[in-house]
C-alpha cells in the first residue's frame, strides 16, 4: 500500500468515525418560543406602566436589594443548575439576567435530589460597611450556607456553610451600626404544638469571621393571630426603618392560603408586636370573586426595597391559574408599591386583587424578555448557552454549541424520570398559551434511544415527544407520565422522512396541549390534539417548580 493510499484510508476512517459520532448525537438546529396570553394582549405605555408579573414563569421566592441606582434580585432554582438566577435593574420593572449566583458544581451539590429539592428561598443583601453582597440560602440536601461577592455580576465565593443555622429560608440583615443578624424558619423551641407550627429564629453574625455567634433566639412562634393556629411561617426578612425593626414573613403555606405578615420591635431580639389590625399585609385567599378576570393566586413570600427617592416596593410570588387552582407556569415574581399607615407597611389592602397593569412613572424600557407577550429564537450559534437555559442537578459535559449544527447533545443512559442528571437543557414555560418549536436531527439505533422535547414538572409528572425506534423502525412517540407512563400517540417515519431533519412543535392552550411534527420542513402533521397537560400543574404534581421545556436525548448506553 502506497503512502497516498494509506493516507486516503486514514482520512476515510476518520470521516467514518466522525459520521458515526454525529449520528450518535441529537442536534437541535434552533429553539423558538412564543407566548400569547390574553392578560398581556393589551397596549401599555412602557415608560409609565408595567405588566404583573414582572418575571413570568418559574421565578419564585424573589429577594431584592439595592446598591446606588442598581437593584439586584434572585429567585429559587431548586434542583436546577446553574442555581439562583441573578437579575439587575435600574427601575425594578425591566430586568436583565446577569447570570447565576451558583454557577459551579462545588457551590451547589445536587446529586440525588429531586426536581423540587436543591435551593430554597435565596436571599440577597448588600452590606455597605464592607461593600459586599451576600446571598444566603438552603440546599435542602446539605444545609444552610452563604456566598459573597464584591461584584455580583463577576462571580461569587465558594459556599460558607452555617452548621448552627437549622431549618430553611435564612436571610441576612446588616444594621446601620455594623452589627449583623441571620433570621430563619425552624422547629419551635420544645417542639411543635400542632402540625405546621414553626418559629422564626435570630442569630447574631460575625462579619469578620463569616460565622454566627452565641445562641439562637426564638423571636416569633407560630405567626400572626396565634389563636388561629397559623401554619408555615417562613421566608423571614428583617429591616430597620425609622425607629423600628420590622420582621416580614410568609405564612399559610405556599399554596392558595399563602400570605405575608409583619411584626415590629425596638430591638432585633424583641419583644415583637404584630400588625394585628392589618395582617396579612398581602394575600389573595379571601373575599375575592373566583371568576374574576386574569386571577392571581397564592400571593406571598415578599421582600422590601427602598428606591433612592424613598419609595418602598415589594417583590413577591404569585400564580396564574387557567382553571380552579391549576397552573403549569409555576410561581411568578410580582411587584407592587408599599403604603405606610401609623408606622406599618401594607403591600395590598384586604379584598383587593392584583392587577395586571400597574402605573409607575419614569420607567426605562428594555431588559430581557421576561413578561408580556413575546417571541424569541435560539440558534445556539454562540459559544455559550443563553442564561435562560438550565440543567438538572450537576450534569457532566453532554452538549456543544457554537457550530452550524446548533445544539448538539450526546445522549446519556439516563431518562427524565430518574434522580440523576439527564442529557437535557431546559427553558421555562412562561405563558399559559404558548408555542415551542425545534428542528431535530437524530438517528436512533434502538427503542431505548430517544431525542426530542420534554415538558417537565418533575420525575413523575412530565410529557415527552421524541424520535425513537418502534418495532425496529424510526417513529415519533408521545408519552404522558402521571405517576405511571402512558403512550399517547405514535407516528411511524418511512422513506426519506426517516432520515430527514424533523421539526417538532408543542402548542399549549391552558390545560390542553397539541403536538405536531414536520418531516419535510413545510407542512405540519398532527401527532396528538388536546392532550390533558394538567399533569404539569402543581395542583396534581406537587412540588415547587413550574413546567420547563427541555431539549433532551437518552440512550441505551
Give the residue numbers marked as catalytic: 61, 234
User: Whose CA is closest to 338, among 27, 527, 64, 68?
Assistant: 64
Q: Is residue 258 classed exposed, middle or buried when 0-12, 13-18 and 19+ CB atoms within 10 A define those classes?
A: buried
Three-state DSSP state, 431? coil
Contacts of residue 165, defined as CB under 8 A and 6 or more positions apart, other chains included, come to 144, 182, 184, 201, 203, 212, 216
Grid cell listed for 457: 414538572
> Can you tell me which residue has the cell 455594623?
178
User: Whose CA is closest to 203, among 255, 257, 136?
Assistant: 136
Instruction: Kindly state the DSSP code that residue 113 receives in the 8-state scheme.
Output: -
Three-state DSSP state, 278? coil
Q: Is residue 523 classed exposed, middle or buried when 0-12, 13-18 and 19+ CB atoms within 10 A define those classes?
A: exposed
Instruction: Kindly state the DSSP code that residue 536 receives in the 8-state scheme.
Output: G
Grid cell listed for 60: 419564585
- Number of continuous H segments (helices) and E segments (strands) in the chain: 2, 40
**Sheet with 63-67: strands ordered across:** 63-67, 70-74, 83-89, 95-102
Residue 540 CA: distances (Å) to CA of 358, 417, 462, 533: 32, 17, 11, 10
* CA–CA dist 218, 270 (Å, integer): 10
Q: Are 144 and 170 in contact (CB under 8 A)?
A: yes
Grid cell listed for 5: 493510499
Q: Are 135 and 74 in contact (CB under 8 A)?
A: yes
Instruction: For strands 461-470 and 80-81, give the pairing.
Output: unpaired
Amino acid at each position: 500500500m502506497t503512502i497516498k493510499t494509506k493516507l486516503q484510508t486514514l482520512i476515510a476512517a476518520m470521516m467514518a468515525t466522525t459520521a458515526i459520532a454525529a449520528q450518535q448525537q441529537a442536534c437541535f438546529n434552533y429553539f423558538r418560543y412564543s407566548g400569547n396570553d390574553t392578560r398581556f394582549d393589551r397596549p401599555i405605555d412602557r415608560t409609565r406602566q408595567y405588566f404583573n408579573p414582572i418575571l413570568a414563569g418559574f421565578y419564585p421566592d424573589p429577594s431584592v436589594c439595592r446598591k446606588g441606582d442598581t437593584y439586584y434580585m434572585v429567585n429559587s432554582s431548586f434542583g436546577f443548575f446553574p442555581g439562583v438566577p441573578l437579575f439587575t435593574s435600574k427601575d425594578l420593572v425591566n430586568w436583565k439576567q446577569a447570570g447565576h449566583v451558583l454557577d459551579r458544581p462545588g457551590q451547589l451539590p445536587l446529586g440525588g435530589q429531586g426536581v423540587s429539592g436543591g435551593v430554597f428561598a435565596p436571599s440577597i443583601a448588600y452590606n455597605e460597611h464592607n461593600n459586599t453582597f451576600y446571598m444566603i440560602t438552603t440546599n435542602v440536601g446539605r444545609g444552610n450556607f452563604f456566598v459573597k461577592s464584591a461584584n455580583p455580576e463577576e462571580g461569587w465565593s465558594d459556599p460558607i456553610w452555617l452548621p448552627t443555622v437549622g431549618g430553611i429560608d435564612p436571610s441576612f440583615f446588616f444594621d446601620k451600626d455594623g452589627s449583623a443578624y441571620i433570621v430563619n424558619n425552624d422547629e419551635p423551641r420544645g417542639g411543635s404544638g400542632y402540625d405546621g407550627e414553626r418559629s422564626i429564629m435570630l442569630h447574631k453574625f460575625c462579619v469578620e469571621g463569616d460565622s454566627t455567634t452565641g445562641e439562637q433566639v426564638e423571636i416569633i412562634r407560630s405567626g400572626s393571630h396565634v389563636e388561629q393556629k397559623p401554619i408555615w411561617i417562613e421566608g423571614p426578612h428583617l429591616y430597620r426603618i425609622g425607629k423600628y425593626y420590622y420582621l416580614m414573613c410568609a405564612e399559610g403555606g405556599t399554596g392558595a392560603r399563602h400570605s405575608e405578615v409583619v411584626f415590629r420591635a425596638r430591638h432585633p431580639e424583641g419583644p415583637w408586636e404584630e400588625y394585628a389590625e392589618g395582617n396579612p399585609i398581602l394575600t389573595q385567599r379571601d373575599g375575592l370573586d373566583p371568576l374574576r378576570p386574569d386571577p392571581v393566586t397564592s400571593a406571598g413570600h415578599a421582600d422590601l426595597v427602598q428606591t433612592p427617592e424613598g419609595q418602598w416596593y415589594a417583590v413577591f410570588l404569585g400564580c396564574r391559574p387557567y382553571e380552579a387552582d391549576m397552573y403549569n407556569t409555576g410561581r411568578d415574581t410580582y411587584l407592587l408599591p408599599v403604603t405606610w399607615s401609623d408606622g406599618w407597611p401594607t403591600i395590598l389592602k384586604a379584598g383587593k386583587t392584583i392587577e395586571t397593569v400597574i402605573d409607575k412613572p419614569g420607567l426605562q424600557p428594555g431588559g430581557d424578555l421576561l413578561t408580556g407577550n413575546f417571541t424569541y429564537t435560539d440558534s445556539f450559534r454562540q459559544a455559550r448557552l443563553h442564561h435562560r437555559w438550565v440543567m438538572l442537578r450537576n450534569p457532566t459535559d453532554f452538549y456543544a454549541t457554537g457550530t452550524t449544527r446548533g445544539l448538539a447533545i450526546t445522549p446519556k443512559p439516563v431518562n427524565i424520570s430518574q434522580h440523576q442528571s439527564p442529557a437535557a437543557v431546559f427553558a421555562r414555560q412562561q405563558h399559559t398559551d404558548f408555542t415551542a418549536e425545534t428542528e431535530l436531527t437524530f438517528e436512533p439505533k434502538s427503542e431505548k434511544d430517544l431525542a426530542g422535547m420534554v415538558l417537565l414538572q418533575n420525575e413523575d409528572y412530565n410529557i415527552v415527544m421524541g424520535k425513537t425506534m418502534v418495532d425496529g423502525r424510526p417513529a415519533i412517540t408521545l408519552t404522558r407520565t402521571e405517576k405511571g407512563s402512558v403512550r399517547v400517540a405514535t407516528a411511524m417515519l418511512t422513506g426519506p422522512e426517516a432520515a430527514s431533519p424533523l421539526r417538532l412543535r408543542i402548542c399549549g392552550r391552558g390545560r390542553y396541549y397539541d403536538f405536531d411534527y414536520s418531516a419535510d420542513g413545510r407542512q405540519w402533521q398532527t401527532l396528538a390534539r388536546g392532550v390533558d397537560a394538567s399533569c404539569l400543574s402543581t395542583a396534581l404534581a406537587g412540588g415547587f417548580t413550574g413546567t420547563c421545556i427541555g431539549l433532551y436525548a437518552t440512550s441505551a448506553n
